[in-house]
Amino acid sequence: MITINTEKCTGCSLCIKDCFARDISLVDGKAVASNKTCFKCGHCIAICPQKAVSTTEYNMNEVKDYDAESFNINADHLLNFIKFRRTIRQFKKQDVEADKLLKIIEAGRFTQTGSNAQNVSYIVVKDNLDALKAMTFDTLSAMGQYALADESASPLIKRYAQMWINMSESYKQDPKQNDSLFFNAPAIILTVSSSPINASLASSNMELMTNALGLGTFFSGFFTRAAEANKAIPQFLGITGTDQIVTCMVIGYPKVKYARTVPRKPATITWK
């Protein structure tokens, strides 16, 4: 519930103008929240110059006052940071600290969601990584065999199908040397949601945080595909209801260093 301290409120109406849900009105020169249409976006908390607005729904100790030195990022540096990021598939034999994994998740937690649903959850897999890996390789192998037997499958799918079978066979021969799924990374973070868009947005910010922490990551599409095909995988992870695994971030300390950015094809832009 949104509460407004009438002693602090000056009636400036900034919260009223910024309330998309139109839940706040001015009564006798003071802002009043009806809490009928509010979806707890927090804009009123962020904009109030008097710190008169608070909520009982969330921890107000998380609220930070803006200051330019701590909050501003140079735009050119940010763009270079994005351009320099690389998908990492070579990892050191080094564990990833829990506090860094939590900071990555924090970047996801504060990412915007449609209607402020905040309906993205996170699964960190470390101790049970080998069991999950074996289950996934078995699933990929079965998927590959099914696709190869399907005469209607496209050449691309058949190419992936053979790759999945080969990956699985190599892994069984030498799990440590032939891990072409998670590449012996020490941890993965799964974003789970009923909304693929919300989870994908969260993952994008999480990747930025991963790189800022000196870690490396790649998104394993093979794993998410296997989890969709084999319901035993989400069951193993405790996922129920309409939630689904949207992204799988494989995380570790990079064993490779890059010296420069890479080119990309020009953006397709339509101005109207």
Q: What is the pLDDT of residue 266?
A: 98
Q: How far apart are CA 199 and CA 225, in angstroms?
A: 16
Average pLDDT, the chain: 97
Q: How far apart are CA 30 and CA 193, in angstroms?
A: 39
Number of helices (H), then strands (E), belonging to the chain: the values are 10, 8
Q: What is the pLDDT of residue 82?
A: 98
The predicted-structure confidence for 107-163, as pLDDT tens digits, reads as follows 999 999 999 999 999 999 999 999 999 999 999 999 999 999 999 999 999 999 999
Structural domains in the chain plus CATH codes: 2-62 (3.30.70.20), 75-272 (3.40.109.10)
Say which DSSP state 91 is in: B
Average pLDDT over residues 265-272: 98
Torsion of the alpha carbons at 51, 52, 56 and 57, rounded to the nearest 10: -60
The predicted-structure confidence for 159-183, as pLDDT tens digits, reads as follows 999 999 999 999 999 999 999 999 9
Structural contact between residues 167 and 159, judged by C-beta atoms closer than 8 angstroms = no
**C-alpha dihedral sign at 77, 79, 84, 86:** positive
The predicted-structure confidence for 207-238, as pLDDT tens digits, reads as follows 999 999 999 999 999 999 999 999 999 999 99
Q: What is the pLDDT of residue 165?
A: 97
Would the pTM of this model clear 0.85, i.e. be above it?
yes
Q: How far apart are CA 206 and CA 137, in angstroms?
A: 26
Q: How far apart are CA 112 and CA 202, in angstroms?
A: 8
Q: What is the pLDDT of residue 71?
A: 97
Q: How far apart are CA 229 and CA 244, in angstroms?
A: 12
Average pLDDT over residues 48-64: 97
Q: How far apart are CA 237 and CA 185, in angstroms?
A: 18
State which H helix or E strand residue 165 sits in: helix 155-173
State which H helix or E strand residue 2 sits in: strand 2-4
Q: What is the pLDDT of residue 94?
A: 98
| DSSP-assigned letters across all residues of 193-249 | ES-HHHHHHHHHHHHHHHHHTT-EEEE-HHHHHHHHH-THHHHHTT--TT-EEEEEE
The predicted-structure confidence for 21-49, as pLDDT tens digits, reads as follows 999 999 999 999 999 999 999 999 999 99
